[in-house]
Amino acid sequence: MTTSLATAVSAEIIIKKSRFIAHIHPVSGRAEALALVDGYWKQHPEARHVCWALLAGGESGMNDDGEPSGTAAKPIMNVLQHKHLEGVLGVVVRYFGGIKLGAGGLTRAYTDAIATALLDAEYIISVAQNNIEIALPFADEGRIRRFVAQNEGLVLGVHYSNIEAYLQLQLAQDKTTALLEEINNLCAGQVRVTSG
């Protein structure tokens, strides 16, 4: 089970005359994230820094963009991880206000900017799914369709041979084994997994 955002959120805070403009986007991967970062540079050509952190499985990453190491991207990443988010990009655009904040001040500022943006976030939870095709007797098709629906699965498609029905199912990954066992029991042991 993973948590992401339904839509992008933004917030702006000002600390000692520096503007910190935070944006958090749901993203599908690194390419989309980097395009968004590039877009923020184009929107804010006078900004001093555009720091970001990406949580996207094996494509995760972060960039302090010239801020002292560990004072910008790492705090952004920490807030996103603390919320158990996945598939999100956190970006903070900083306009320098003329007063140095120091390492601790920068860390707090980037943390507060991202946390403030998340106050307005609408979260969505997604469950990892398995797509599986099973073969079963014609007579059991209706019963298995109802069973799958009652257990939060989906029938994605169906086709038939001369001797049996083939259902393409989408089942929650953490429940797949138990559901397939129950389906097989409901069909008196006559179910075969044909793919997935």
The pLDDT of residue 58: 85
Q: What CA–CA distance (Å, rounded) separates 170 from 154?
A: 5
145 and 117 in a single domain? The answer is no
The pLDDT of residue 125: 86
82 and 12 in a single domain? The answer is yes
Contact 63, 52 (CB under 8 A): yes
For residue 58, what is the DSSP state?
A: G
Q: Provide the edge-to-edge strand list for the sheet that holds 165-172.
A: 154-160, 165-172, 129-136, 192-195
134 and 114 in a single domain? The answer is no
- Compute the C-alpha angle 161/165/168, nearest 5°: 115
Domain count, the chain: 2
Q: Which residues fall within 8 angstroms of residue 120, CB to CB, at 6 or more apart?
A: 9, 11
- Find the CATH number of the domain harbouring 143: 3.30.70.240
44 and 23 in a single domain? The answer is yes
37 and 7 in a single domain? The answer is yes
The pLDDT of residue 196: 66
The pLDDT of residue 127: 78
Q: Hey, what amino acid is at 125?
A: I
Range of the domain at 151: 128-195
Q: What CA–CA distance (Å, rounded) separates 61 from 76?
A: 11
Q: What pTM did the predictor assign?
A: 0.71
The pLDDT of residue 60: 94
The pLDDT of residue 129: 82
The pLDDT of residue 1: 66
Residues of the chain below pLDDT 50 = none
90 and 177 in a single domain? The answer is no
Strands (E), the chain: 2-5, 9-15, 18-26, 49-55, 61-63, 88-95, 123-126, 129-136, 154-160, 165-172, 192-195
Q: What is the dihedral of CA 94, 96, 100, 101, to 10 degrees?
A: -30
Q: What CA–CA distance (Å, rounded) separates 107 from 111?
A: 6
The pLDDT of residue 2: 79
